[in-house]
Amino acid sequence: MSLKYKIPRGTYDILPEDSQFWYKLMNKFRELCRLYNYHEIVTPIFEQADLFERSVGDSSDIVEKEMYKFQDKKGRVFALRPEGTASVVRSFIENNLGRQSSITRVYYSGPMFRYDRPQKGRFRQFYQYGVEHFGSEDPFVDAEVISLANMFLTKLGLKNFRLELNSLGCRDCSPLYDQALVNYYSSLKTDLCPDCQQRLTKNPKRLLDCKVDSCRNYAREAPSILDYLDENCRRDFELVQKYLTDQGIEFIVNPRIVRGLDYYVKTAFEFTTDALGSQNTLCGGGRYDGLVEDLGGDKTPGIGFAGGFERLIEIMKIENIGFNESSEKSIYLVLLGDQARAQAAGILHELRTNGIKVDFDITKTSIKAQMKSADKAMTNYSLIIGDEELARKTVILKDMSTGEQQIIQKKELVSTLIPLVQQ
């Protein structure tokens, strides 16, 4: 067969055999967010392109190379969202969420889009989960947000990851560090990659985030941001470390963490692993105290993190971690003869209305074919109804694991099945 249409490069299908895994993974995240009193927010998958350009930064790779931009019929320029924070901040401002409470906690999930070279762990359409916390600049909140991310990875059963922590300083002390980087890299400019040569004048901190080997070697000897923190930033960073230690969360301080987005200030962090090669970040985030104000809102501190489902699933497979199968039992309906099949819709509706998972294949007519389908579906019980059962208003209930059968009254079908499927 010659395929007429193929999936776009850098995307993939979540097939039925995998979708349940994704569903359970998202449910784990939702359950944990509930414990931390975060509430779900859902934003559009496209926004005004200027929203991302202003928030992410025009010197970032996302804006310069990776955004999917398009014009609508009125000539307005939109972009598929490349990350989640900017959209959440826009919604926070537009819907006055900050006026409803002094603290706002939200979480989100969904597809993001970046035009990047597809490789293992990196796609052009990818799925992120994340949280955002608005309203407090207390370092305690930084530690709590990091704690949520740490607990999520831990509850999934992951073991081979580490927390790397840094402070990027505030808007007062950060320019001093930028100048120190410019002084260090100026004599090396001709040896830098073309992107880093531009970063030197636009955003020097991004030089530390380059993935080119030669640039990474220079970054190892670059000045450390920790030597340029002012008193307040240094105190806040020490408190973040204290609060993490109080929770028993291990970390290493890595002054090379700058993240890839321009809005970060003060705390920045990444959860990394050695199991995924170059794409080694499981999730990461940091503080963005000036972003709400930059996008037109009131002065509001914020912090959050985001991670990709794809990398989570990849490392879970590497570490051979799965989810326990649901204890919910399933039923397969086997109907013999035209009169019995005529009642299929009514029987299925009654069972499903009462929360009983039931399957039935209208294309199968013989008992052999139907029982084979029940076996293939790994069904726990089958319900068999033929002409004799119709006349007696009974149903045969067969345990598929033991082969044992019992006859029950049709009027007692639901009350008999509920305790069985919920065991």
Domains of the chain are 16-173+229-318 (3.30.930.10), 331-421 (3.40.50.800)
Q: How many helices (H) and strands (E) does the chain have?
A: 17, 16
- pLDDT given at position 199: 83
CA 125, 130, 135 angle in degrees (round to 5)?
A: 140
- What average pLDDT is seen over the chain? 89
For the chain, report the end-to-end CA distance as a whole number of angstroms: 46
Alpha-carbon torsion angle 183, 186, 188, 192, nearest 10: 110
Instruction: Give the mean model confidence (pLDDT) for residues 32-46.
Output: 96
Residue 197 has pLDDT above 80, yes or no: yes
- Measured CA to CA, the distance from residue 407 to residue 384 in angstroms comes to 10
- Measured CA to CA, the distance from residue 393 to residue 175 in angstroms comes to 83
Residue 417 has pLDDT above 80, yes or no: yes
Highest mean pLDDT, choosing among 183-197, 211-225, 236-250, 366-380: 236-250
Determine contact, residues 139/145, Cβ cutoff 8 Å. no
Determine contact, residues 351/410, Cβ cutoff 8 Å. no
Rg (CA), the chain: 28
- pLDDT given at position 221: 86
- pLDDT given at position 107: 97
Tokens of 70: 């398009």
Task: Flag the least confident range among 54-58, 182-186, 397-401, 402-406.
Answer: 54-58
- DSSP H helical ranges for 130-283: 139-155, 174-186, 194-202, 213-220, 231-246
- pLDDT given at position 267: 96
Q: Select from 294, 296, 270, 292 the least CA-distant residue to 281.
A: 270
Question: 252-267 in b/e burial notation, b at 16+ Cβ within 10 A?
Answer: eeebebbbebbbbbbb
- Measured CA to CA, the distance from residue 316 to residue 319 in angstroms comes to 5
Instruction: Give the mean model confidence (pLDDT) for residues 403-415.
Output: 93
CA 40, 46, 50 angle in degrees (round to 5)?
A: 110
Comparing 191 with 167, the larger pLDDT belongs to 167
Residue 324 has pLDDT above 70, yes or no: no
- pLDDT given at position 220: 85
Instruction: Give the mean model confidence (pLDDT) for residues 385-408.
Output: 92
Q: Select from 282, 21, 8 the least CA-distant residue to 129.
A: 282
Q: Residue 1: pLDDT band by 50, 70, 90 thresholds?
A: low
Q: Select from 361, 305, 306, 303 the least CA-distant residue to 333.
A: 361
Residue 342 has pLDDT above 70, yes or no: yes
Task: Flag the least confident range among 14-28, 41-55, 322-336.
Answer: 322-336
Residue 59 has pLDDT above 80, yes or no: no
Highest mean pLDDT, choosing among 70-79, 317-326, 338-347: 70-79
Residue 48 has pLDDT above 80, yes or no: yes
In the chain, the amino acid numbered 47 is E
Determine contact, residues 56/112, Cβ cutoff 8 Å. no
- Measured CA to CA, the distance from residue 35 to residue 319 in angstroms comes to 26
Q: Select from 253, 246, 247, 288 the least CA-distant residue to 270.
A: 253
Residue 64 has pLDDT above 90, yes or no: no
> What is the percent of the chain where pLDDT is above 90?
58
Q: Residue 153: pLDDT band by 50, 70, 90 thresholds?
A: very high
Q: Residue 202: pLDDT band by 50, 70, 90 thresholds?
A: confident
- pLDDT given at position 278: 64
- Over the stretch 106-151, which tens digit does the pLDDT of each residue have? 999 999 999 987 777 689 999 999 999 999 999 999 999 999 999 9
Residues in the chain: 423
- pLDDT given at position 423: 67
Instruction: Give the mean model confidence (pLDDT) for residues 209-234.
Output: 88
- Measured CA to CA, the distance from residue 301 to residue 289 in angstroms comes to 4
Q: Select from 317, 248, 309 the least CA-distant residue to 28.
A: 309
- pLDDT given at position 71: 95
- pLDDT given at position 399: 92
Q: Select from 218, 201, 209 the least CA-distant residue to 58.
A: 201
For residue 136, how far is the Cα from the chain centroid?
Answer: 24
